[in-house]
Amino acid sequence: MELCISSTAPHRSLHSSLSRDSLSLPSCSSVRFRQTGLNFQHKLSFLSGHAHPLEPLVSPSIPRRFAASVAVGTESDRLPADIKVSEVEEPNSRVRLSVEVPPAVCEDCYRRVMKELTKQSKIPGFRPGKHVPESILLSYVGKKNVQKATVESILERTIPHAMSSVSGRALKDSVRIVTKYSDMEQAYSSQSSLRYDVIVDVAPEVKWVPEDGYKNLKIVVEIDRDIDAQEACKEELKRRHKSLGALRIVTDRGLQMGDVAVLDISATTIDQDESNVQRIPSAESKGYQFDTEDGDKVLPGFVDSIIGIRQGETKAFPLAFPESWRQEDLRGVNALFTVECKELFYRELPELDDSIAEKLLPGCTTLKEVEESLSAKCREVEETAREQATDNAILDQLRKMVEIDIPRSLFEEQGRQLYGAQLLQMQASMKLNEQQLASLSSPKAVNEYLESQKENIISIIKQNLAVGDIFKRENLQFSSEELVKEVRSSIEEFKRHKQDYDEDRIQEQVQEILEGAKVLEWLKEQAEIQYVTR
């Protein structure tokens, strides 16, 4: 049994991050957990003024106001005697703290609880706030309840002192009291002292293999052929030209390259045992309008298999899904396709010359102007895509060069932020109702996402921590003017979308993004980068 210090429920922390993480972060920069010196971004919630530290420990049999009012400020609270704390490092960047609280501290906490109960209890025959004999107060409140309140007071007062050895390293919302609460009550009752164990996640160490290997990166960046400016310009001009053509019905021949066909497609697996044959719904379609010039977007061999098919004709043929197919469960699957041609058309295109320049691109009077304008836009797209691909390749390389013992709390927070961003996208595109959103935001749904995306989440954390470590190692900097400008821009965007925001959180995120940009800029200057087209 573990008692969690944090009072934040999983789906509540998810919702609190939904509106903060999607708008202010570019796709290439996931939320990065920044560690600068000893001031790690994740702090214990009760040391930074967030959620009440011991709320989950409050016994339902004690009025909540009693337990809450016993809490004392951690910075100014001096204990009447020293507590003893032993520290043991554990896997996954965790530290176990074994705490021994002497009787003097326990007695002081007991007296504070009794004093608070005297102030708040309304005991017949006694004026509120006046002295009440201890025996009467114990009888009225209940000795068991007083013991529980005292144990909670001991924990509230001693945990911050016990945590001093991991101050600056402890991650927010990661503290767990692993000693059973019943055992603590029994120990206090019989010995008037208390022992308990606390486990806390700490900032993980980034180990580079090889050391300083990031200073001499050799990166191969693969660029999609579709992104190549020259090829993209040709394809865009071709697409615009085709849009000006008229479709004419083919009556006297079969399908040829350049034609458009309306097809009904069905597909099944191939198996010697017919009882094992299954439909492949994702490969099926009714009334599918297929342009033969888009053959590179369908299964290899599909176009060749239907060339010559006539309107009203049906063809059946086997094809194998390649190992590189985008849908993983179909890779290597042998399938039998059945295709019926419902309609068949050819295109009647106008001459590609200056006479249609205005139709191809408004504002242009010659074909050359069209080509130059499209080429400029495609070069801009290519440059953006090239930069994005370069950043991704560098981050992927960094991920492979670091060894990090990732704490569970860090994994869960990063995963929830990614899931929150995904929910935002779904909400924007599908307009989920409250019931659907509640279901997708449930602890079960979040945990399923964390498990299914475990590898991806770990990769992102490694990238983020590696970037933060480089920023610190190389003493990189950005100007305060850049920070102020970007923070203002992000806030304006939140306001434009009428979303709530936390200005401090925005500033942290912007700072993380600027740090990441500086690191990538620095790495590009140091790295040997080769571009290849795929």
Asked if residue 173 has pLDDT above 70, the reply is: yes
CB 124 within 8 A of CB 162: no
Of residues 31 and 206, the one with the higher pLDDT is 206
Q: Would you say residue 315 has pLDDT above 60?
A: yes
Whether residue 318 sits in one domain with residue 194: no
Please report whether residue 22 resides in a domain. no
Which pLDDT value is given to residue 136? 82
Question: Does 426 reside within a domain?
Answer: yes
Q: Verify that 252 and 311 share a domain, yes or no.
A: yes
* Residue-averaged pLDDT of the chain: 82
More confident residue, 65 or 288: 288
CATH number (domain holding residue 184): 3.30.70.1050
Q: CB neighbours (10 Å) of residue 31?
A: 24
If one counts the domains in the chain, the total is 3
| Statement: residue 353 has pLDDT above 70 | yes
Domain boundary among 169, 203, 237: 203
> Above pLDDT 90, what percent of the chain?
58
My answer on whether 323 and 379 are in the same domain is no
Does 49 score more than 90 pLDDT? no
Domain-located, residue 158: yes
The CATH code of the domain that includes 328 is: 3.10.50.40
Same domain flag for 324 and 379: no
Last residue of a domain, one of 315, 348, 381: 348
Q: Can you give the residue range of the structural domain that contains 166?
A: 84-203
pLDDT, tens digit, for every residue of 435-456? Answer: 888 889 899 999 999 999 999 9
- Residue 185: other Cβ atoms inside 10 A: 17
* 5 domain residue, yes or no: no
Average pLDDT over residues 2-23: 31
CATH code (residue 472): 1.10.3120
pLDDT at residue 20 greater than cutoff 80: no
**Tell me, what's the pLDDT at 72?**
36
In this structure, is residue 464 part of a structural domain? yes
Same domain, 380 and 529: yes
Q: Is residue 21 part of a domain?
A: no
Is 391 in the same domain as 523?
A: yes
Mean per-residue pLDDT, 195-213: 93
Domain final residue, candidates 203, 230, 262 = 203
How many whole angstroms separate alpha carbon 142 and alpha carbon 182? 17
Are both 417 and 512 inside the same structural domain? yes
Tally the C-alpha atoms within 13 A of residue 375's C-alpha that lie toward its C-beta: 7
My answer on whether 381 and 517 are in the same domain is yes
Whether residue 191 lies inside any domain: the answer is yes
Instruction: Please state whether the peptide bond connecting residue 210 to the residue before it is cis, i.e. omega within 30 degrees of 0.
Output: yes
Q: Please state, in angstroms and as integers, the Cα–Cα distance from residue 332 to each residue in 319, 320, 322, following that order.
A: 10, 6, 5
**Tens digit of each residue's pLDDT (9 = 90 or more) over 75-107:** 567 899 999 999 999 999 999 999 999 999 999
12 within some domain: no
Q: At which residue do the structure tokens 């990769």 appear?
A: 459
Dist CA 336 CA 274 (whole Å): 12
Q: Quick: pLDDT tens for 395-425.
A: 999 999 999 999 999 999 999 999 988 888 8
**Are 329 and 379 found together in one domain?**
no
Question: In whole angstroms, what is the distance from residue 479 CA to residue 116 CA?
Answer: 51
* Token duo for residue 424: 């935002």
Tens digit of each residue's pLDDT (9 = 90 or more) over 123-172? 787 777 677 788 888 888 888 889 999 999 999 999 999 998 898 888 88
Percent of the chain with pLDDT over 70: 86
pLDDT in tens, 459-474: 999 999 999 999 999 9
- 105 and 175 belong to one structural domain: yes
Q: Are residues 255 and 137 in the same domain?
A: no
Q: 338 and 385 share a domain? A: no
Kindly report whether the global pTM for this prediction surpasses the value 0.75.
Answer: no
